[in-house]
Structure 1
């Protein structure tokens, strides 16, 4: 947690409501996202119980497993889930635009122009919290290797045709959610925490209802009081009036509501199997409606909270670099669509050494890029770097012309004298970078004293003897410099998998990245 986050949390405790951590929205929000509120069965990791989903806030659809221990009912639930999700993804995969790209032949060095398809937009999934992301990842892992009746060797328990495809998409989305700055799959509690600070702990912020209680509490009630009320209020049976965001359910709800409803449904099905008739069919229908109502009551408050949180986020203007990061998400969605169309196998259970290193390098690179872009887009983000000594901002008091005469012709190296109260953690000679200039400019600190810093500008002033107009700030103008580079460096190249040493899973043994889809490794 940064110093600015700590100060904002202390201010939220004092004021009694959420305090802003950003002036702009740093994540993309689609006009028509699909919201998912999943529930997992207690006592079995990754076992689905229900999911409330849809793109219309007024008309969600609840899918449920009447008996989580029943394999056929699980597969029926997953087939319905796949039908809903794939129907939402399909139109995005079909609408494309052609993007011109320049490719260089590695042998001849010749450059050729080519065109590639890029999906015009990508479907966005919104879940309540990070626990829901982990639950979807478990669902993806347990379904993407499933064999179906159309496979040569379907096995004793073939899954519906669309279930493995559902698993591959869920795996792609949950892996993409680990890439900093990605917006394909967003946990709302994490998204709200990026833009506002509350006066409670980060663990308490995982309860979506309690987290939203800090936003615009009613007069005379603090955010802490309203959050405690949301977390603790229960009905006469002891069931929470505002259930947690899941995917785990409340133990009292499990014992007093869910378990009896499942038992009555099982009993009705057993009676129907023993003696089919109108009364038995009506009993099954009533038991199913009771179970549906119980699970709808457990998910609907969170469903409303998710849409309320999205309304809060839409009030913020989008950051300048959002379009660039969303285009990266569109390429990710397009590339996975192409892999599926090419018939490539499912994602392996465990990455080989090179793939794992590439993923780690990409995430480190994206994290550095997001930090820089957010600092450039948002004064509050830059203020955090200033508080930590990684940047400084000040008013230009004087511009002193100076020249470097060591070469054939003198080069401008003017001095900027800044009036500032910031104290960067840098000694004279440290390279700094101008954050709000017309182009990327490097400078170095010449001297630093309380209330004043002098820097020497090193480039970005044109090729003439005198600096080009507009390349230097005028006295009275405010400028910002950072101690970190504003462009992210590329990571070192990695070898191909076949060139990886045997110590890292390469030849001669061949490695163990084969997914080995037995189709029965999760729920058997």
Structure 2
């Protein structure tokens, strides 16, 4: 945790209100996001219980498993969820942009013109917290290898075509969520934590309702209510039946809800199903109709209980979206969203080409590529957030990685040699204390084109830098390329562009020390999870 984040938390404790950590929104928000509030059954990792989902905040749709231990009902649940989610994901693949470019011909080695498709937009799923992302990852892993009736060997219980397709999409989205700055799958608690600080711990912030209590007091609380008191009430208040007035954000459920509400409702549904089966076996039509009505009644009671457990969190997610929409978007946000669009487009093309699903385990090269990309994107994100947000740059200034100030003098100088080039000295008055040793390179923020400089001298309250680039090719600097006395400037001690990592070998060239070449015909083909 940085010094500025710690200070914001202390201010939140003193003011009993959430304190801003950013002046702009650093994550993309779609015009048509799909919100999912998943619930998992207790006692079995990844066992789905219910999900409340939709793109319309006024009309959520609930899907649930009446008996989580029943594999047939679980398959029906997954098929129903896939029928909702997959069309939403695929709806973004039709409208594309055509981008002209060039690539090297593998035979001749010459560059040839190519036209590539880039989807004009990409889907966005939003879940309440990080546990929801992990739950979707488990669902993707458990469904992407399911066989369908179209497969050569469908097995005894083939799944609907959209179920393994849902698994492939969820695996891709949850993998992409590990890339810093990506916005295709977001956890609302993480979004709020990036932009505001509360006076509670990071673990407590994972309870979405408790976190939002620091922004907007719950109904019945006055405007002067403290954030800590409101969060404590949200976490612990129970109704007359002993149930939480505001259930947790999922995917886990409240043990008292499981014991007093969920378990009796499931048992009642199981008993009704048993009565229906006996009636059908007796071939008594009237009794079968009465038994079927009992099953529908028990199912409705169970659905009402699960809706009551998920609907408060549904409203909380949309409230969080409203708070985030109140922030202006960051300047580099379109650039990062374009990366998500490329990721979506490439996965769409892999699915359309009939490529196999992602492997159970990545080979060494694919894993290294993923790690390298995430490290590169993290460095890129840190740089872009610092350039877009004065609060993010303030953290760098406090740590000595940047300094801001006013230019008080400009001394024109030129390099020696046949072709003299401008090398002006800037005297910058600053209150920061950067790690500005003489001879260290620095970079001028918000300069077009990018400008590199070097520290000449540094003293308390004053830093002298020499500009080295970004002033044109002539002897005299281009107009506007050199700051004038009185101009405000920001220099960073870190580069303003992330460095590219070293190239990695192809999977077929992996040395034996890292697993050896992939085995032909393996059930988890190498490269199926190639990271774009």
* Structure-2-length-normalised TM-score: 0.94
C-alpha distance in structure 2 between counterparts of 1:42 and 1:60, whole Å: 24
* Shift of residue 92, structure 1, vs aligned partner: 1.0
Structure 1 residue 381 and structure 2 residue 392: aligned?
A: yes
Alignment pair present for 1:363 and 2:367: no
Q: Indicate whether 1:265 and 2:274 are aligned.
A: no
Q: Which residue of 2 aligns with 1:520?
A: none
- Provide the rounded CA distance (Å) in 1 between the counterparts of 2:479 and 2:504: 44
Which residue, 422, 437, 448 being the options, matches 2:447?
437
Within-5 A mapping of 1:225-240: 225-240=229-244
Q: Which is further off, 156-165 or 40-49?
A: 156-165
- Which 4+ residue blocks in structure 1 deviate beyond 4 angstroms? 106-109
**Deviates most, 451-460 or 94-103:** 94-103
Instruction: Give the match for residue 315 of structure 2.
Output: 304
1:246 aligns with 2:228: no
| In 1: Cα distance, 2:156 partner to 2:328 partner | 54
Residue equivalent to 1:333: 344
- Match of residue 456 from structure 2: 446
Q: Which residue of 2 aligns with 1:462?
A: 472
3-state SS, counterpart of residue 51 of structure 1 = strand
Match of 2:213 in 1: 213
Partner of 2:167: 167
Any conservation in 2 of the 1:8–1:197 contact (CA below 8 Å)? yes
How many Å apart are 1:116 and its aligned residue? 1.2
Following superposition, the deviation at residue 107 of structure 1 comes to: 6.0
Paired with 1:72 and 1:137, the residues of 2 have a C-alpha distance of 21
Aligned residues: 514
1:7–1:464 distance in 2 versus 1, CA, 3 Å: same
What's the CA shift for 1:452?
1.0
- Name the CA distance, whole Å, in 2 between partners of 1:272 and 1:288: 13
Q: How does 1:82-121 map to 2 (within 5 A)?
A: 82-105=82-105, 108-121=108-121
Q: In the alignment, is the contact (CA less than 8 A) between 1:352 and 1:513 conserved in 2?
A: no
Please state how far the C-alpha of 1:335 moved relative to its aligned partner: 0.6
What is the distance in 2 between the residues matched to 1:513 and 1:194? 42
**SS at 2:453 equivalent:** strand
CA RMSD of aligned residues (A): 1.4
The equivalences for 1:284-323 within 5 A come to: 284-323=295-334
Q: CA deviation at 1:148?
A: 1.9
Structure 1 residues 173 and 126, CA gap change in structure 2 (3 angstroms)? same
Name the residue aligned to 1:411: 421
Question: Equivalents in 1 of 2:421, 2:93: separation in Å?
Answer: 53
Match of 1:24 in 2: 24
Farther off after superposition, 342-351 or 423-432: 423-432
Equivalents in 2 of 1:283, 1:182: separation in Å? 47
- Look up the match of 1:281: 292
Alignment-derived partner of residue 519 in structure 1:
none
Aligned to 2:431: 421
1:351, 1:513 within 8 Å by CA — same for their partners in 2? no
Indicate if the aligned counterparts of 1:348 and 1:513 stay in contact, CA closer than 8 A.
no
Shift of 1:506: 2.1
User: Which residue is equivalent to 1:13?
Assistant: 13
Partner SS for 2:406? strand
Q: Deviations over 1:257-278 (max 9, x none)?
A: 0000000000011011112433
* Partner SS for 1:332: helix
| Separation in structure 2 between the aligned mates of residue 107 and residue 381 of structure 1, nearest angstrom | 48
CA contact (8 A) 1:505 1:512 kept: no
Aligned to 1:255: 259
Conserved? CA contact 1:140–1:170, under 8 Å? yes
**Whole-angstrom distance in 2 between the partners of 1:420 and 1:109:** 53
Aligned to 2:53: 53
Is this contact kept in 2: 1:184–1:329, CA < 8 A?
yes
Residue 128 of structure 1: aligned partner: 128
Aligned twin of 1:521: none
Q: Which residue of 2 aligns with 1:522?
A: none
Q: Check the 8 A contact 1:350/1:513 in 2, yes or no.
A: no
> Does the residue aligned with 2:202 lie in a helix, a strand or coil?
coil
Q: What runs of 5+ residues in structure 1 fail to find an aligned partner?
A: 517-524
Q: Compute the displacement of 1:219 (Å).
A: 2.3
1:510 is matched with 519
1:353 and 2:357 correspond:
no
Moved more, 214-223 or 497-506: 214-223
- 1:209 CA displacement: 0.2
Task: Note the C-alpha offset of 1:184.
Answer: 0.5
